A and B are shown apart, each in its own frame.
Chain A
């Protein structure tokens, strides 16, 4: 085919420009480390990357929710541990007090210790978290849940239990209401009463030097009750740490997936870049050679 001089020139220039464009794109990919520079490079990949980004951000949030949940549950569990210790001591004292070898005086001594325990129990039931919120107040976490008047302890909180989202479809309770922990424990007479009343009754019986086996049973019931709450908290703690493990492995998988979608394969890109540079060089050299040729060079 006949070729015009301008065409020869233009073709050479076009070839150089094309090679430069593709080399520049690869260079940009190499400098950013990203395969997808614009959604148009891979529309479905770009939208998948958005989805995975969201998933990573959300999972990170679930992880921090889990951290918070585990912190709250640990605080509650530690508090209940103290309650359990306290009740165990009270149980020991109840058994001791029922022993016939005790005198009115020694029972007074025991009564004093139990009285102190009762105060400590109230303090434990009014425990606050790091944000200054009462942990056993239900939703009414801003006001003191347990108050005493005339020797009777009243629960002022409500029956609200707070849940925290620790996974896409997993919520865990991070609190227990004061009523479910300290109130309504079955007593030996078939009804139910608060742990405070159990200890108060014990103190009263000691003060009148007439201890009875009822106290032992009631304290034992209270102990069982608190331990069952403890067990429940333990299983929730397990659930949280399960979810944390699950979340971190899913986070790892999602990150890998995201990297596969949007990150550059360096080996491939570098060898491609090398090829493009070689092609560019060839285009430039051939352009120079061809442009140097002209019949006019040979005319006198």
Chain B
């Protein structure tokens, strides 16, 4: 072949190529704002030249393919940053809610705790004033209902989160299904196009993968046929070629318990628990918030409520009411035990908070299971089980658990220790506030020595002889006898006296000081009509600053302050990390955008370039025509 005839071929080839280039440019311009669109460009290359005696003569241009500007590495970076960012964002925002709730200067627990103890001080100053007593009662109710309110808020948070977690799981499942479907389409389309990449489908799959990594952290492996396998957690295959696995979600049944996420591979019904393996994304953020913030906050609150109630009650029952009766419980917050309906044994289990160890309460509920042969297993919700041997009573995790009757193996009892929910005020009558102490010390007016009996305190309010009249009489300045004159019992004779001696009988203790003389007599007896006595109220007020929490290192208020600081710190860390992660994400997105994004100025320039080339090619057609006409006219 030679010359002119070919020129027309070259020109039409050029026209076709530039038309395709112009369409691609137009497509780029049209998709300038489409999410996930990767800029496309036509690959132009020279056609195979014709060898002649005079050398190789070019035969024009052809389009060998349309490629998208895409970088696998950057795309993966965007996905991993998206997961990390979404996780922290969810965590920070949820933790921020709890932190604001607990730290609120008016709705938090702190002000209610203060007002209550101020009211106790009010009764201590003026134990006979009915209005001071009424204020203490209503401030006690306020404190209890503040605990109830915070418990309910945490419960609402849990309910809401259960819903959100289940949404996230179903979104992951539907994304996994879509990715499997697109995998199929990509493999088919690649085959149909003779190996040319289906750019639009590839973009679509990348968009789906990005959405998936918003929900959970994923890793991907591209197969030789163009499909992508997606893994979550510790290598659980969420998408394998054209099939998708399923995540399922079980809501947390009780406060303090963890929700469960499990995975089953495509076509399998076996559910593998993956709750602790899942990380990143919205789902990962919610799960770690649940484990690191929500559950600890709930159990700290329960611990504090149980401690306030139990410690306060323990002192309150040592007192005496305005009517002269022994003090009862001020707060009600006891744990409740319910046996399982499947129990076959005849045992009854009862539980109470242990006043001295209550601050070790570890969860909002427990399950006690009898293993047979005097062995029990106590499992805190979401915690590690403890084995108890013997027939009880057991003092464990801040509780006294006692068993009566005969249990059968596998009998189960659930113990509700959700104290922040259960707490209330147990007394209604302000007169029943035990501001006084049941016993009073005295010395006979005929005493000639300078001895005093002081610091009288009740140690065991259940002692039946507590209110007996007791006489301590000195037979010499260094020896005394102790007699219970109510029953006529001699409690001690010839006790050697040293100043500061503590004297403890019948459930009370006191100290003898000074220099008594022979014949001196001291008494401890019932406090009758002692309405002006405030000793127990002072002791109750003293509980505000007593180091009763955290192994004797902090007060009630201090313990709560630590909870607020602890959750505030977690929130603040998550916020800081989120900001850093967001910057990384933006950087990765920027890099991706600079590779794959459309620049309108560039496209405008390309438009001009290809339009001019097209015009020139059209001109070549016209030249070819002229050349052919010239040839024709020469022959004519």
Q: Is the Cβ of A140 less than 8 Å from the Cβ of B445? A: no
What's the least CB distance linking B542 to chain A, in Å? 8
- In A154-183, the 8 Å CB interface with B consists of 158-160, 162-165, 168, 171, 175, 179, 183
Considering the complex, give the chain B residue whose CB is closest to the CB of A40. Answer: B571
A78 beta carbon closer than 8 Å to chain B: no
Per-position 1/0 for A269-300, Cβ under 8 A of B: 00000000000000000000000001110010
* Partner of B114 from A53, A162, A171 at Cβ < 8 Å: A53
CA distance A149 to B136 in the complex (A): 41
Considering the complex, give the chain A residue whose CB is closest to the CB of B35. Answer: A6
CA distance A163 to B596 in the complex (A): 81
Considering the complex, give the chain B residue whose CB is closest to the CB of A11. Answer: B590
Considering the complex, give the chain A residue whose CB is closest to the CB of B602. Answer: A2
CA distance A42 to B601 in the complex (A): 47
Indicate whether A54 sits within 8 Å of B114 (C-beta atoms), given known contacts A65-B125, A68-B126.
yes
Indicate whether A6 sits within 8 Å of B593 (C-beta atoms), given known contacts A51-B558, A158-B530.
yes
A248 cross-chain contacts in B, Cβ below 8 A: none
What's the least CB distance linking A154 to chain B, in Å? 12
A184 beta carbon closer than 8 Å to chain B: yes
CA distance A171 to B538 in the complex (A): 9
Per-position 1/0 for B105-128, Cβ under 8 A of A: 100101101110110011011111
- In A58-79, the 8 Å CB interface with B consists of 58, 60-62, 64-65, 68-69
Q: Is the Cβ of A7 less than 8 Å from the Cβ of B118? A: no
A164 cross-chain contacts in B, Cβ below 8 A: 124-125, 534
| Stretch of B94-102, B390-398, B472-480, B496-504 at the chain-chain interface | B94-102
CA distance A163 to B542 in the complex (A): 13
Q: Is the Cβ of B532 less than 8 Å from the Cβ of A58? A: no
B530 cross-chain contacts in A, Cβ below 8 A: 138-140, 158, 160
Q: Is the Cβ of B533 less than 8 Å from the Cβ of A57? A: no
A141 cross-chain contacts in B, Cβ below 8 A: 128, 531-532
Q: Is the Cβ of A3 less than 8 Å from the Cβ of B531? A: no
Considering the complex, give the chain A residue whose CB is closest to the CB of B569. Answer: A43
Indicate whether A140 sits within 8 Å of B564 (C-beta atoms), given known contacts A6-B593, A131-B129.
no
B9 beta carbon closer than 8 Å to chain A: no
B557 beta carbon closer than 8 Å to chain A: yes
B77 cross-chain contacts in A, Cβ below 8 A: none
Indicate whether A131 sits within 8 Å of B128 (C-beta atoms), given known contacts A4-B594, A4-B599, A295-B604.
yes
What's the least CB distance linking A205 to chain B, in Å? 24
Considering the complex, give the chain A residue whose CB is closest to the CB of B591. Answer: A1
Q: Is the Cβ of A165 less than 8 Å from the Cβ of B538? A: yes
Q: Is the Cβ of A44 less than 8 Å from the Cβ of B565? A: yes
**How many A residues have CB within 8 A of the partner chain?**
61
Per-position 1/0 for B335-377, Cβ under 8 A of A: 0000000000000000000000000000000000000000000
Q: Is the Cβ of A58 less than 8 Å from the Cβ of B114? A: yes
CA distance A158 to B533 in the complex (A): 10
* Partner of B593 from A7, A46, A48, A54 at Cβ < 8 Å: A7
B33 beta carbon closer than 8 Å to chain A: yes
A192 beta carbon closer than 8 Å to chain B: yes
Most buried by B among A40, A43, A46, A158: A40
B527 cross-chain contacts in A, Cβ below 8 A: 139, 158, 160
A112 beta carbon closer than 8 Å to chain B: no
B508 beta carbon closer than 8 Å to chain A: no
What's the least CB distance linking A181 to chain B, in Å? 13
B52 cross-chain contacts in A, Cβ below 8 A: none
A143 beta carbon closer than 8 Å to chain B: yes
CA distance A44 to B103 in the complex (A): 12
B436 beta carbon closer than 8 Å to chain A: yes
What's the least CB distance linking A228 to chain B, in Å? 14
B442 beta carbon closer than 8 Å to chain A: yes
Q: Is the Cβ of B564 less than 8 Å from the Cβ of A39? A: yes
What's the least CB distance linking B104 to chain A, in Å? 9
Q: Chain A: residues with CB nearer than 8 A to chain B?
A: 1-7, 10-11, 14, 38-44, 46-51, 53-54, 57-58, 60-62, 64-65, 68-69, 131, 133, 137-143, 158-160, 162-165, 168, 171, 175, 179, 183-184, 192, 294-296, 299
Q: Which 4 A-B pairs have the closest CB atoms?
A: A4-B597, A141-B532, A39-B568, A43-B568
Residue pairs across A and B with Cβ atoms less than 8 A apart, 29 shown, are A2-B594, A2-B595, A4-B596, A38-B96, A40-B95, A40-B96, A43-B564, A43-B568, A43-B571, A47-B565, A47-B568, A49-B105, A50-B103, A50-B557, A54-B557, A61-B117, A65-B121, A138-B532, A139-B436, A140-B528, A142-B128, A159-B441, A162-B127, A163-B535, A165-B121, A165-B124, A165-B538, A175-B532, A294-B600
Q: Chain B: residues with CB nearer than 8 A to chain A?
A: 32-33, 39, 92, 95-96, 99-100, 102-103, 105, 108, 110-111, 113-115, 117-118, 121-122, 124-129, 436, 440-443, 445-446, 527-535, 538, 541-542, 544-545, 557-558, 560-562, 564-569, 571-572, 575, 586, 589-590, 593-602, 604-605, 607-608
Given contacts A6-B32, A133-B531, A139-B531, 11 further A-B contacts (CB under 8 A): A1-B594, A2-B595, A5-B597, A5-B598, A5-B599, A11-B590, A38-B571, A39-B571, A50-B561, A50-B564, A294-B600
